[in-house]
Structure 1
Amino acid sequence: MKLIRTHLFIFLAVLGLFACKKDAAIDLDKLVQVDSAQMTKGAIVTVSRDTTTVTYGNVEAKFSQTSTCFPSSEVFAFSASGVALPAGGYYSWQFGDGNIATGATTTHSYQAAGSFVVTLMVMANANNMLAKVSFGVKALGQQTKPEASFTTKFDFPQNLNYVTFNSTSSINQGDIVQFKYNWGDGTEHISSVGLVRHEFPKAINDSTYSVKLTILSNSGCSDDTTIRLTIPGRYNIKGKFKTESFDACTNERILFTAEAENVPSGAVYEWDFSDGTGVRTGNPIMYKYKFPNDYDVIMSVKLNGREIYRTNKLVNAKGENPKPTAKFEETLVWDYPTTQRWSFNSRSTIPTSTIDSYQWSFGNGNTNNEFYSFIETVYNKEATSKTYTVQLIVTGNGCTDTARKTITIPPR
């Protein structure tokens, strides 16, 4: 005897004829003819394609089930035959989940997965049961289609070709029993767990792979999803950048130009000028600093949003208004018959920094470069009056300015 497939379970076959009150016009014993040997051996189960038949005496119950995978909903179809029912007779079904139905044919859907005992009763009327047979069915329930999804992570900074994949797939009912990853590089991996790692081939340039995950549930339903994953290339970039200053002491602008080798086409240059104004892109790029300082400028090369190279160097900037303004006041300190003493007091300014040096020239051959903002000098009187040009040169931010005045020394 060919038995039922393994996914269908026979829980109970039987239970025989019950003694019942006979109707004078109908011989109830002839409706169900079962000898004692068949009752002892129980029901006979046969399977043909997608239909299972349970035979008990001359009572025959058949059932089949549809696929539970979305968009289908699992539905069991039941039918009963083999008995010429008397007037008022009927077939009664109990589905093992608390639901019942009547009729030679009926359908039923189980909401949850599980094994259920279905009972078919042949009824002469509501009070008289002619025969009863029970058999088991295995339901997969509803909403058993899985939803495939997964995440990727570069867990190993020293080897960006080695990637972690973690399935975040879900299913409402049942279990996911298989995870199949197709890496897009000609290889694939099948596993019973969703967390796996894969090392992609090493390449000089960035390589993009279509990674596909296909999942399979214990109900035979499947789903898949694909994402594109870029594996970083190994670029042999070398070099830094150069700077060129324009109009340094009036309206300074600095031109930054990359001098890097082996930069792939499509790469983007990003500049952090380290003054808190954010990142700029371009090459070459002109930039103007507001304040004088030494700035640690960072140049990054990015490809597809990923940094593939970085270099930096200190750049001196003069900022806005870097040039000092030279100015001084002169005062006659004393006047003797043969000499005069004069004092000179610098009133020079610089907007964004400090003055670095004062260089005095008094026109009489005397000079002083010792960082005096206030200084005195003596002039000798001669036979006639004489005019001298006093000059102050101030330096700041590497820029200079000059102020001049003339004084006249009277004759002695």
Structure 2
Amino acid sequence: MKNKFNKLLFLFALSAFAVSCSNDDDNHDEHSEETAQEYKYLRILVSDEKTTELSFVNPIDGTATFFNAKFPKSALYTTESGRFAGIIHRADNAVETFDSGFEFHGDHVDTKGTPKFGALTGQSLSPTHFKSKLGELLTFNDGDGTLSIGKESEIHTVGAKFTTINAGLMAHHGAMASFKNGTYAITEKDNSVAGTLPEKVKIIDNTGKTLFDAKLVTKGIHGNATDGTYAVFGSASGILVVESNGNQKYIAHPADFGTAWFGSIIETAYAGKFIGYTAAKGAYLIDVVNKSVTPIFENTKIMQCKVSYNHKKLGILLHSGEFRLFDLNNLQAEKTATIIAATVENSTQKPQLELTERFAYITSPTTGELLQANLSTLAVTKIKTSATPYRITIFGHENSAGH
């Protein structure tokens, strides 16, 4: 009897162990399944070079729904909340807004109606540079040197329009940055440099009044980003750092730069740290506090240089078709693979790159597709879009929890 009881105990333990192992396997498979697909509440918006068609892509099932913007060849940007996109028609002096339909509530996402255009629109002369901070959508208008400001809260207000701020600037290819206190850093042009590039940056309030005049005069400015405390501008005289109290300083370029300088500055998830990119040298981490510039990837054949949607990774796409992924916390390379065919450097329209935590998205201008590359496996899936995809933006939220 005792032996039978011991045998029963052994069989029960063996069965429990098998169930335990089975559950472990199930958990592992579930985790793998999660990383194998995109977050439920993320979407990709794709504009078209030749038509007004917008492709609203659901990366979960690889489908696209099509809408018509007012004009073709639009630039696309995501607002600070992640819910909306700004659609910039520079050549046609217009701005539209688009709603993903997903509203973030801290630990989950609510679906707010269907994807659709917003009622908020803008009309200005050559809206070019776009930013979104503190619930605002901003464009710098190259045609007359003004700012246009709209509010996310008014995107579905019937008849809502962007308002114009005139800071007394002359027309130029400029930029602006928002500070946490609600003021703005804005470029100025005094014609000390030939061409359209500005030379200075001043601080204004939301009426256009100058709060702090420029303290430094550069040999040309292009590209900027802000974390709300520091506004960083690419400059031929050095990396220009501006604070809301009017303080300004330069951070020197690396010694081997010669005449090269950063024409693109990109925000990261880390306070006081930015990406500087120039086609002449490569991508670098700019630490504003320590006044340092550290190489991330030095190469003169970069076609696209983009931070991930959460601003924690850097994706680089070379003309050769090679893709590289870097962790911005430690600057370590995580992935390297050739995922598209080579692109001729002087091509009129080149593939565009954006990336999330789990996937990279690359347009294929010649085949009418959006390529979705899994950042874990580097497997590529093709999603049909409009015929000549032009620009893309990711919006929505890296979250799969519903209400």
Structure with bigger RCO (C-alpha 8 Å, 6+ apart): 2
What TM-score do the two structures reach when normalised by structure 1?
Answer: 0.16
Structure index of larger Rg:
1
More strand by share: 1
Normalising to structure 2: TM-score of the pair?
0.16
